[in-house]
Amino acid sequence: MTINVYTEQTPNPATMKFMVNKLLINGSEDFATKESAEHSPFAKELFKFNFVSGVFFASNFVTITKTDDAEWADIEAILKEFVKGAVESELKIKEATAEEAPAFEGSETEIKIQQILHDYVRPAVEQDGGAITYKSFDEGVVTVELRGSCSGCPSSTITLKSGIQNLLQRMVPEVTEVVSEAL
């Protein structure tokens, strides 16, 4: 199979989404630091580039965060070629583990919130090269964690308040607010 790689800009100018025509991973993996990539051969190799400051994998893409001193015009082609070679050689994203369906836990309301985030919000956030994780629900406030290109993105607050909060408030009347936990 010939691997094709194309790039997409994300709402976060420091990140770029490198899409491939192959499923890379079920779920997602976030490597915000070089140290966190210890058990990911793919991410570890990406961090060898001195202009890479973060790596995030989901379905058929890898979102790469660049350092402030790097310009996409200078590094995009290099990273595209690397991603193509890594996928072709089947470089592992993480150590193999059994994949499970998401297990939602908590009260009936918490399970409903998690299901909505999984079914409606996660796919949309992944389109922009990011991921969302449910953290908690307490006294009407849903706390989530944004990762990948969503972490530190200028438009993530708008997404959080206008998109996710409005959706949850419509579907789960107990929700009064959605906040993001800082990484």
Residue 121 has pLDDT above 90, yes or no: no
Q: Which of 4-8, 59-63, 93-97, 116-120 shows the lowest mean pLDDT across its residues?
A: 93-97
Q: What is the pLDDT of residues 32-90, one digit of tens each?
A: 999 999 889 999 999 999 999 999 998 899 999 999 999 999 999 999 999 999 999 98
What is the token pair recorded at 141? Answer: 């406030």
What is this structure's pTM?
A: 0.62
For residues 27-43, b (16+ Cβ closer than 10 Å) or e, as one string? ebbbbbebebbeebebb
pLDDT value, residue 107: 92
Among residues 156, 127, 130, 105, the alpha carbon closest in space to that of 28 is found at 130
Under the banding of pLDDT at 50, 70 and 90, the label for residue 141 is very high
Instruction: Give CA–CA dist 9/22, Å, rounded.
Output: 19
| Mean per-residue pLDDT of the chain | 87
Contact 39, 158 (CB under 8 A): no
Question: Which domains, ranges and CATH numbers included, belong to the chain?
Answer: 5-89 (3.30.1370.70), 108-181 (3.30.300.130)
Say which residue, 12 or 120, is predicted with more confidence: 12
**158, 166 in Cβ contact below 8 A?**
no
Maximum separation of any 2 CA atoms in the chain, in Å: 51
Confidence tier at 154 by pLDDT (50, 70, 90)? low
Q: Give the Cα separation of 65 and 57 in Å (integer).
A: 12
- Which of the 8 DSSP states describes residue 140? T
